[in-house]
Amino acid sequence: MSKNVGEFGLPPHAARNKDVVEQRLKDVAAGTGLQETLTIEWRTKPQVVQVIDMPVESLYYNPGTHRIRAQRSFDPQQDRRLDDDPWSDESQDYLQYLLQAEPSDPSKRDKDFDELKQSLEDFRQNEPGLITREGILVNGNTRAAALRELGVPDIRVAVLPDSCTWADINKVELSLQLRHDTRRPYSYINRLLTIDEQVEAGRPLKEVARDFRIRESTAEQDLWVLACLRDLRDRSTTEDAQLRLLDFEDAQEKLREVHRAYGKEAKADPKKAELLKENRLAAIVMDFSKTDVRLIEADFRTRYLEHRLPEELKSAPVETAARVIPGINRAVKAEAPQVATARAFTDSVLRAKAMVRAGAKVSLAQSEKAASLFKEAHKAVEDALEPAGKDARVRKRKQAAPDRLNDACQDIEQCITDMVLASGSRSLDEEALDEAVLKLKATLRKLALATAQSIEVPGEGVEWLREAVRQEQQ
């Protein structure tokens, strides 16, 4: 016999749970302290309901919860039992199992569940759950499962009005669970600034981290990244132009990786760590992808970049004088020359980028000079990345060739944009462009030759290329 959808009757401990709930509600109402409440959507109107503490073990998972509706069929036998007797231990255990399982594959454990568990362990329960007077969880099923696994005895729950029916339970659950969260998350930089501001205000980092629901180590990392960004911003200053923090908004993951790599390296060799950081920061400024940045190690400059750099970027390391700490007249060792060189490179890239971004604030000539410098630097690093990433690329060799061409196409698109801009201001160096196009022609010819050697049955594209080259030669 099948029951109506969403009708499960009452659990065996319904009456007893009701006693406990009602007594605790009475206790809360009688107390003088500030009462915690939750506002829910109740029969089209918002309603404020009381929050109490309940023993987690005494509550029942809602067998009709929509969170696991699709996953119930994972084990047909248990699913049937869930319909016949949703309140038995076995059925409730099955629900608990499904709540911690991955939705797409219930035989695996859900990572999100473990994250929730960790968060509950670190920061306790944030939002109260929601139960009926009979102790059926309407909202917070997953949290209850996590708390149960953690062995936390009590859960904070709001209590629905007495007249609650299964239809109401479903409606309330949907209004709570499926409600779209329209809050926009803080942007990365804004979050960094807020954390910094809180710490500056004298609050302990641990507490700030808790407010943001992150670990203390993550907060430390965020502060390090922010310090790094501020440093970059200051170093980018030339005349009127300066980069802004928001220019690094997209670099969140790259910067975090730099921090991780830096921290690891710093333990072994601080100088190397410093080099690694400078090299990677330069690449981040130049908007290289995360995977590219990963290829850059401390020896990147000496091994790959040095001989590819144009002369103007090879600025001889300025011998930094040993600094003297004012007051105690003690000299500190100057930066290692290698680090200074790396810093100089990063600085010139930063300044060039700042100039380019400044737009109308600087003269056109300056802007162009900066753009070309930036481009050269970019090209040098890109070239250097190739041998650097050889190992990694070998694995991707299959895809490497088409990828390269795709990248080149993007560059050409960029070239078109730049060309239009330049001709608009009548500053296009037509001769240089002509030279470059000739170079492109030669390269394309080489490409056609290469395809002839390696591709036996050419597709449309390769066919076209060969045809074009053949016609050109005739």
Instruction: Give contact residues for other proteins (rule: CB under 8 A).
Output: 12-13, 16, 19-20, 23, 54-58, 87, 89
In angstroms, give the least distance from the CB of 135 to other proteins: 10
Residue closer to other proteins (CB basis): 52 or 241: 52
Residue closer to other proteins (CB basis): 90 or 269: 90
Nearest-Å Rg of the Cα atoms of the chain is 32
User: Using an 8 Å Cβ cutoff, are 295 and 392 in contact?
Assistant: yes
Which H or E run includes 47? strand 45-55
Q: What are the angstrom distances between the C-alpha of 62 and each of 134, 148, 170?
A: 11, 15, 10
In angstroms, give the least distance from the CB of 10 to other proteins: 11
Closest CA to 157 of 261, 79, 231, 52: 52
Nearest-5° Cα angle at 371, 436 to 389: 75
In angstroms, give the least distance from the CB of 14 to other proteins: 11
In angstroms, give the least distance from the CB of 153 to other proteins: 8
* 329: its two tokens: 């007249």
* 26: its two tokens: 């009475």
Residue closer to other proteins (CB basis): 54 or 349: 54
Residue closer to other proteins (CB basis): 145 or 243: 145
Residue closer to other proteins (CB basis): 19 or 429: 19
Residue closer to other proteins (CB basis): 20 or 428: 20
In angstroms, give the least distance from the CB of 289 to other proteins: 52
Q: What are the angstrom distances between the C-alpha of 32 and each of 27, 29, 36, 38?
A: 10, 8, 12, 18
Q: Distance between CA atoms of 285 and 342, rounded to whole angstroms?
A: 13
Residue closer to other proteins (CB basis): 61 or 188: 61
Dihedral class, residue 372 (left if φ above 0, else alpha if ψ from -120 to 50, else beta):
alpha
User: Using an 8 Å Cβ cutoff, are 165 and 171 in contact?
Assistant: no
In angstroms, give the least distance from the CB of 149 to other proteins: 12
In angstroms, give the least distance from the CB of 58 to other proteins: 4
The answer for residues whose C-beta is within 8 angstroms of residue 82's C-beta and 6 or more apart is 63, 72, 91, 94, 95
Burial (Cβ within 10 Å: 0-12, 13-18, ≥19) of residue 325: exposed
* 469: its two tokens: 């080259």
Residue closer to other proteins (CB basis): 55 or 402: 55
Helices and strands (DSSP H and E) totals, the chain: 19, 9
Residue closer to other proteins (CB basis): 100 or 236: 100
Q: Where are the beta strands (DSSP E) in 306-369?
A: 323-325, 330-332
In angstroms, give the least distance from the CB of 16 to other proteins: 5
Q: Position 208: which residue type?
A: V
Residue closer to other proteins (CB basis): 143 or 148: 148
Mapped onto helix, strand or coil, the DSSP state of residue 63 is coil
In angstroms, give the least distance from the CB of 89 to other proteins: 4
In angstroms, give the least distance from the CB of 92 to other proteins: 8
The answer for residues whose C-beta is within 8 angstroms of residue 455's C-beta and 6 or more apart is 462
